[in-house]
Structure 1
Amino acid sequence: MDHIGKLFNLEGHSMPEWFQVPFVNFKAHCEPLPEAGVVYGCQDLFGLTHLRGSDPDTFCKVLQSWFYFGLLREFFPIEFNIDDFKKVSDGHQVVSSECLLRYCSLYSGDRKRHIHLHDCLEFVKTWTDEIDLDCPLESSNSLLGPITIPDSIVHQKSRLIIASIKVLLETMFEYLRLSCSDRCTGKSKVQDVLTSRVNRVLTNLFYPGDSLQGINYDTVPSATVSGGQKRPVYGSVPASFFFGILLNNGWCRRHLTRMKHELNSTCLYILASRDSELVISQKGNQMECSASVCQQDENAGDTGPKHSFHCYGGSLNINCKPVQVDTRKFESIYEDSKSTSIPIVSFADGEATIEESRDQKYFAVSHVWSEGLGNASSNSIHSCQLQDLAGLIEPGRRGNSSQDSWGPMKFWLDTLCIPKASGRSSPDREALEASAIKSIDWAFASAHCVLIRDLTIQNPSLPFSSLDPLLQIMHLYNMRWLSRCWTLAEAISAWKIKITVDGKTQSLSDLIIDVGSSFAQRYSLASEPQSSTATSFRNELMSSVFRSFVSPFDVFIDSKDGHQDIIATWNALLQRSTKKASDVPTILAIANAISLKNVVDCKEKTMAVQMKLVLNAFRRLPAAFLFQDGPKIHEPFNRWVPAEPSYSGGSARNQRILPRSTYGVITDNIESTVLTYAEGKAVGPLQSSKSSPVYLFKGPLPQSFYLEVQGQSQFFFVEMTHQIQNHNQDNEYCLILSSVAGLNGPSISTAFCATVMKMTETESKLLVTWETVAQVRKVAQETPGGLRSRALYNTSVFDVHLLYAFFTGHRNTV
């Protein structure tokens, strides 16, 4: 991993001893892979996995030999010298990858070799994800079943070796992507050595007689029909070793869960290396946090607002008192149905009053409650916090015009401008809250400027502007402001969004650009006496790290450039949380510029129904929405609608929606989409292809059954989430496999099952009622034992380019 350390000058900092990967002396390191099996003591990965429990020391030897040095030998069969990848430190031999970038500068290969090496990387990625021990953030089952291993020194050593393999994998993926043209994206027809070594164990375990050729690496094989855990399609799972280190250092478990989905092992290695230099609120006493809930956010505002950093006396300072606004004034504004104004705060001489916005210039403050301004019981904050807000807003006012021309400071803050639940009858309270919620997007959109308040980079003890650019991007990534759902909607609604850092107010995008320029200047290798290939690769590695840390900001910046879409906002919400899960449809609507009227005013105020209203506002949706793993709406005509998009609802089962990727990078410019219409109308077309096949067959259907694909000698086992009701023998059904997780190999795929009625004599147009999601598993080519006595249906592949699938307003029972 020290090739990354050298790029970012991590050696100049106090690197923990546990970052030195031990070199495990094993003579098989120097043996060609085909002849090394006897020395390994195991012939396949099934044996390797069980070595982890039975003989952990040998497991470490085999692991490093097979997946680290074996992979290097696959890439550099002529140049590879094992002595180049080890050194002596404190009297011990350790693995050193300092020469890796030099090796890469010498590499050359044709298209066929690129494909072969890509297959090797994908294969090692899949299996290192499986043999890595369960991530300490949440429990999960390995492909070959859970294995309980004591937390010993050898155990820690194996996790560190796996972490080094994953960092190596990410480096080689990046180099292969950079050095290979777009033509090199297909799968090799020649099985590489690593694939052939594991082929036997997989086929014997799950699919006797099948080949791993064409395996879909986006989905990890599973031993059960319904319990398979899909991996992200955009790279490997980050090494559990780094999460263990960060947890031991007191990091919030919920925040680390977000990292698990956004950062790779390389970024986590860098972050953990400089952890001691980070001044962030997600570190400290976070033992009560879980993978889905941060207790600081969950309890925010329950005990009233906090005092600011500058209030040195804290709550004991008798001169710092709560400032309460006149709630009757803003209630009258919300109750006036003809008014287009919203309530804003006018602050002068230590007094805060409520006014109508009308045509006044005001600032909207975007913040998170856990950083001191939250108050669940009343519309008040401490006077010290008002003074802090003045310090935040004044630089922005001075930057636009003279202070006198503005008069008193005018701003919008949810704590002071949104009515609380106490003190009113239920009907009045609900109506008032609905009026306030419907105006939130307008409050931010009509503001002269939206200002971000985040104590991670506005901490008085943190000189952000003078930090190393690497520390700057890590502090930006760890802003608590990025962790909450409402701040996503607020930032996207804003026409101008700015942030004040060290007394300077600038746009959020300009801050990212400035930090990026400093980062490039600090770590640029353009002036080094290296070959152009090596220099480009080094710079690309550093750029990928920068892009990963600032990627959460893309959703805001892209929205200002007219590039916003439902995929970006959906994926952003997946990594955020909110105390009130029922707010999620409203937030999704605001983030996609959808009117809140129908969402807020709908009679059935359930999250599922509101989610349906939001998604039906789109003319097109990504086809992947049909194949989400999370809970669906329990309605006959809308069972494709996800009931929730984020962890806020207590579920972590939904997946990110991404186009297909090559070498971990999205390459498709156009995602497969489906048309949406009014309630009970239509969705389609769906593309039918080899990667996303559509199967037609007749019912009636039990909840689980087998499908035989005619002409292909293939059998699928299908298990539906819900049994289809009101069907008969003449019903025809279609099973559509997801384009994201198609069943091209021995894996579990999510599919969608629907009732079909032909509209024309040809099979090009069908009337379809979507029914339920199903889990599909390929079974042995031979007829499974006892299959003939169970539910078996014959199917043919729908072999036209498009299947036009239409919703109906009634259930079809032909």
Structure 2
Amino acid sequence: MDHLRLSIDEEFRPKYYKPNLFEPCHEFHSFPKAAGYFLSDEQELKHIEGGEVKEFHQFIQSWLFFGLLATVIQLPENESFFDGNFLSEDGWHINTEKLTDYLEKWQKQEVGRKDGQTIRMIRAQVALDLAREVVRNHCSVDGKFYVKNRIDEELSLSLMVLGETLTNAKSKIVEKVGFNIRGWHGDATEGWGNPACLLSKMEGDAGWCPRTLHILKGQLKSLATSMLSAYKSHDSAILRRQSHVNCDAMEPCQAKSVNADGIYVTKHHPRCPDPDPKGCPFIEPDSKEKILAEIEKDNFPLLRYQDDTKQLQVVPYEPHEKYATISHVWADGYGNPYDNKLWRCQLDYFHTLFKELPARPPGQEYVLFWIDTLAIPVGKSQREKELRKRAIRRIHDIYTKARYTVVIDNGLIQMKPSTYEGTAMKILASGWMRRLWTLQEAYLSKRLLFAFKDQHLKNLDELEEMYPKANDSLTSNIPTAARNYFHNMLGPDRSARINELSSASGYGLLASVWRAAQWRTTSHSEHETLALATLLNVEYDESISQAGLSLDAENANARSVELEKAKRGKSQLELDRMMRDLWKVINETCPGSIPSGIIFMPGKRICLEGYRWAPRTWMSGQEVDYPDPLSILTHPATLTGKGLSVIYPGFLLHTKTRSDVLGANDEDFHFAIDSTLLEWYSVNWKIEPIHNVPVGLSLEEKQLAIILCRPRPRELPEIALLVEIEKTIKQRSLIDQRQSNIYYVYIVCRIKIKREIKEALLSKWKEDITQSITRSNPGEGKVIFGEVLDENQRWYVDGRPDSMSLPDDIERPPEIPTDRNEKATPNTKRPSTRTRPIQQKGKTRASNTASTAAGLATRTSGPVNSHVSHDRNKPSNRFGPPPRAHTSL
């Protein structure tokens, strides 16, 4: 790992299990047998009984370190370069400092030598694929055959790092030489596993938050090298200053700025010379009335801090005024839920930072600035509460009009910026990147500057200019992985917005926002819809606007994780309604912007009729499944009173009983799609505990189907939906009389589906189904047939209307309100009915109803049931009359 230049020293240095057993005469795939081992059909390493077995660690290192090096690099001098070139001076440990030289020799050889290149590249990729599977299965903490301490943990880490290094180098070489044989490139962005020794170090002495670790593992896609870089980029002493004993991987970080009683505390700056109210008092704006008056005039106040007099003046915003905004997280102690005040040391620090702003206007001694803590009212009077909501509505304008946005994070300000990957990884793992409000602040800002140690401001745009050179490295994929920070703050979409480019449609922007929001959290669940509506700049109603009041002092006293969970549980139905209202206003204001792939996203779903397709939160904290449904170009979804209308391919499932598919003791099923019995698919439908099929569902008679995110799944498991058909509408063309079906469906659960290619399984399944349909009692036993649907099949997707779709943590209300019978709240502001794209104008693909392509030759003896039900849920009219015109995206 020395080639990474991460100053690892002796911390994770692997032992050398001498001597190396892999000789030039050995072949990579057959080497295990020569050492007394073999790989089972499930790719588990086992001993060959009765033969001579080499010591396990010696075998693993010889095969997956030295053997992989020899097989992939394939240099002429590889007969001798392993003996001492990868050992420490004392000969007891592995040292990879010279690996960079060999990678450069490899690249130089391939650039200048075309003969036999195809075979060499394929041979290297096949070896890397096998090695990656073995390492992930046996060395990664989430591996199928991982056993703690069975393999030396430092050795496991070294195998992961080497594998990722060679994969990255091959990818760069392939790109340079123009090797373009489809299917033989490999994926350099997929990691080789999660190393136990590194994760235990981060969870233990280093004091990392479990939530941060969980998110990093998802963002870095099990890239051990990148996780190692993240660990080294942060000083563990800094991280230990906050206690994470109450934190959980699946819950927002609980390390808040509170005292022993759980009361929020506004903190002094870490370097405050006298953190005492007498030596460093609170400072507030010179006129609270000026702040309120400017907000009442639909303007916003700016602030000027005079460090000589320690006065904080309120200045009305004037058009084209140059000012800075400050982006921070309340958990760092820069907030104040009781008064519009901050400690003097904080304002002194702001003033020092402002001196470092680039292109500062000449002669401007004091920079105008805006920070929510001082400029958004927090009082208890009705006037202050109403103006607070109006001030929050102006956040979009405030950040878009600012000349600078300065990011202040308590972790970053104690670290120095370094290389591109080092600086980017610091930002990626920072607390500022974990919060939802900072996402919209980053996206809306023209010029984003990160505050580091010694008042150093790092310009985001200048940092990104360093990426191409940093990424032109054979030694690691760290720069690409670290650049997740850029995508997770909507970097490409932000650049398109600032430069007025049309690179992102409303559809694409919503997909990008989802991917970025999934890794973020907010201390108040009700803030989610408010922050998203502000980011997207859509008009929202009173239910969402009310969320802006939740930072009152009475709500700032989250004394425990249990209290916060109880508060969320009691309000889950209200949260569902707020999320429903957000989808409504997005669909009305920006038609054609809802990504169809949203139906495949993980997590629990809204419990309200017509919206049970929608996840309750965008902040799932879960990696998007393969293949990313939000990245697949398809028709935009349409919101209707009957559910979400989408166009996707799929399969109809024909079976004697639904228990063949949803058997209580089964986790998977399989089916063929035509009478040749040559094409088979296997399905795993128990991929999420929260979506286990309810008791009794298998006994119902409604036909089941599968919605695919793309046609004909491949050999790797792909995300899909298992649904039940509630109603089928038959349509036909007046021109050619062609008939098609539209399916109204309820989601049963998310599934993983793949095309099965294992010959042993295919032979058995073919024999089983042949016997079942030819015996005297056809259909006896488990028999499932699939029918291929058109790629343009239209579906109306919703969830089941019974109690199984209600939140688990609330009591069932007497009636679930629907758009038809729910009464409007008095004095509710009606959002604008004008329509526009979220970003740039464009075009949407028109789509007609889809037709069915029958691919089924043999059916079961039972009939196909299609139940027709009356439509009880008419399209919503809550937001006023329909718009007169829609803008296509």
Spell out, residue by residue over 1:650-683, the C-alpha distance to the aligned partner (whole angstroms, 9 max, x if none).
Answer: xx445268759xxxxxxx9x73233222333675
| Compared CA separation, residues 285 and 601, structure 1 to 2 (3 A) | closer
Total equivalences in the alignment: 703
Aligned 1:267-346 pairs, distance under 5 A: 267-270=226-229, 278=235, 281-282=238-239, 286=243, 288=245, 289-292=247-250, 293-297=252-256, 299=258, 302-315=263-276, 318-325=278-285, 329=289, 332-333=292-293, 336=296, 339-346=297-304
> Is 1:583 equivalent to 2:527 in the alignment?
yes
**CA gap 1:639/1:578 in 2 versus in 1, 3 angstroms:** same
Deviations 1:391-439 (CA, angstroms, capped at 9, x unpaired): 22345497124227xxx7543212223344x7458xx887565434333
Corresponding residue of 1:453: 408
Residue of structure 2 equivalent to 1:262: 219
1:43 and 2:38 correspond: yes
The answer to whether the 8 A contact 1:250-1:284 is kept is no
Deviations 1:458-508 (A, max 9, x none): 44xx665xx566654454444443232211111212234345666676753
Matched, 1:178 2:129: no
- Do structure 1's residue 813 and structure 2's residue 862 form an aligned pair? no
> For residue 627 of structure 1, what is the aligned residue in structure 2?
600
Query: 2:10 aligns to what?
Result: 16
Residue 194 of structure 1 corresponds to which residue in structure 2?
none
Between Structure 1 and Structure 2, the one with more helix by share is 1
Q: Distance in 1 between matches of 2:293 and 2:395?
A: 14
Matched, 1:131 2:138: yes
**Residue number in structure 2 paired with 1:438:** 393
Partner deviation per Cα, 1:740-799 (whole Å, 9 max, x = no partner)? 9x753374744342524332364655244353433256784435699955664432222x
SS at the partner of 1:364? strand
* 1:134-173 matches, cutoff 5 A: 134=141, 140=142, 142-144=143-145, 147=147, 149=148, 155-173=152-170
Amino acid at match of 2:708: L
Match of 2:714 in 1: 744
CA distance in 2 between partners of 1:388 and 1:774 (Å): 50
TM-score, normalised on structure 1?
0.73
Q: Contact between 2:651 and 2:706, CA under 8 Å: does it hold in 1? A: yes
Contact 1:125 1:166 (8 Å CA) reproduced: yes
Q: Which runs of 5+ in 1 are unaligned?
A: 135-139, 189-216, 219-231, 524-537, 661-667
**In the alignment, does 2:52 pair up with 1:92?**
no
1:675, 1:682 within 8 Å by CA — same for their partners in 2?
no
Q: Is the alpha carbon distance of 1:458 and 1:507 closer, same or farther for their aligned partners in structure 2, counting shifts above 3 Å?
A: same
Provide the secondary structure at the position in 1 that maps to 2:164. helix
Q: Find the aligned partners of 1:712 and 1:365 in 2 and give their Cα distance.
A: 65
Q: Which runs of structure 2 are paired with 1:97-112 in the superposition (5 Å)?
A: 97-98=99-100, 99-107=102-110, 109-111=116-118
CA-atom RMSD in angstroms: 4.7
Cα distance 1:424–1:159, how it changes in 2: closer, same or farther (>3 A)? Answer: farther
| 1:367–1:481 Cα contact (<8 Å) kept | yes
Aligned pairs for 1:76-87 (under 5 A) are 76=73, 79=76, 81=78, 83-87=80-84
In the superposition, relative to structure 1, how do residues 303 and 475 fare at CA in structure 2: closer, same or farther (>3 Å)?
A: same
Specify the alignment match of 1:708 in structure 2: 671
SS at structure 2 position matched to 1:775: strand
Contact 2:722 2:749 in 1 (8 A): yes
Cα distance in 1 for residues equivalent to 2:64 and 2:657: 49
Letter in structure 2 aligned against 1:813: H
Q: Which residue in the other structure is 2:364 paired with?
A: 403
Contact 1:620 1:673 in 2 (8 A): no
In structure 2, distance between residues paired with 1:556 and 1:443: 18
Structure 1: distance between partners of 2:152 and 2:425: 29
1:352 corresponds to: 312
Amino acid at match of 1:711: S
Q: Which one-letter code corresponds to 1:129 in the other structure?
A: R
Residue in 1 aligned with 2:513? Answer: 569
Structure 2 partner of 1:418:
376
2:730 — aligned with what? 758
Change (3 A) 1:282 1:504: closer
Comparing 705-714 and 602-611, the one that deviates more: 602-611
Letter in 2 for 1:118: Q
Q: Offset of 1:268 from its aligned partner?
A: 3.7
Shift of 1:369: 2.3
Contact 1:28 1:40 in 2 (8 A): no
Letter in 2 for 1:580: H
Aligned counterparts of 2:256 and 2:447: Cα–Cα separation in 1: 26
Whole-angstrom CA distance in 1 between matches of 2:156 and 2:324: 49
1:243 aligns with: 199
Q: What is aligned with 1:797?
A: 788
- Return the offset for 1:50: 6.5
1:72 aligned residue = 69
Q: Is the 8 A contact 1:86 1:93 kept in 2?
A: no
Preserved CA contact (<8 Å) 2:653 2:786: yes
Aligned in 2, Cα 1:371/1:335: closer, same or farther, shift over 3 Å? Answer: closer
Do 1:493 and 1:593's aligned partners in 2 also have CA atoms closer than 8 Å? Answer: no
1:768/1:806 contact within 8 Å kept: yes
Percent identity, please.
Answer: 16
Larger relative contact order (C-alpha < 8 A, sep ≥ 6)? 1
Q: Which residue of 2 aligns with 1:774?
A: 750
Alignment partners' CA distance in 1, 2:255 and 2:122: 48
For 1:551 and 1:478, how far apart are their aligned partners in 2?
Answer: 10
Distance in 2 between residues matched to 1:496 and 1:599, nearest whole Å: 33
Between the aligned partners of 1:752 and 1:327, the Cα distance in structure 2 is: 60
After superposition, the C-alpha distances for 1:83-133 in whole angstroms (9 at most, x for unaligned) are 423424214263643534423433455556645543443343333222224
Residue correspondence of structure 1 range 471-510 to structure 2 within 5 A: 471-499=422-450, 507-510=459-462
1:312 CA drift (Å): 0.8
Specify the code of the residue in structure 2 equivalent to 1:44: L
Counterpart residue type for residue 314 of structure 1: P
Instruction: Show structure 2 runs of 5+ residues with no match.
Output: 498-502, 547-572, 664-668, 773-778, 802-865, 869-889
Work out the CA distance in 2 between the residues paired with 1:33 and 1:334: 73
Instruction: Sort the Cα spacing of 1:235 and 1:34 in 2 relative to 1 into closer, same or farther, 3 A.
Output: closer
Choose 602-611 or 85-94, whichever is displaced more.
602-611
Describe the shift of the 1:384–1:275 C-alpha distance in structure 2 as closer, same or farther (beyond 3 A).
Answer: closer
2:133 counterpart letter in structure 1: T
Relative distance call for 1:793 and 1:634 in structure 2 (3 A) is farther
Contact kept in structure 2, 1:438 and 1:596, CA below 8 Å: no
Higher alpha-carbon deviation: 341-350 or 470-479: 470-479
How far the C-alpha of 1:730 sits from its partner, in A, is: 8.8
Q: Which amino acid aligns with 2:372?
A: D
Cα 1:570–1:21 change in 2 (3 A) is: farther
| AA matched with 2:442 | A
1:386 is aligned to 2:341: no
Paired AA for residue 605 in structure 2: K
Q: 1:675 aligns with which of 636, 640, 645?
A: 636
Counterpart secondary structure, 1:365: strand
Q: In 1, distance between residues paired with 2:327 and 2:695? A: 46
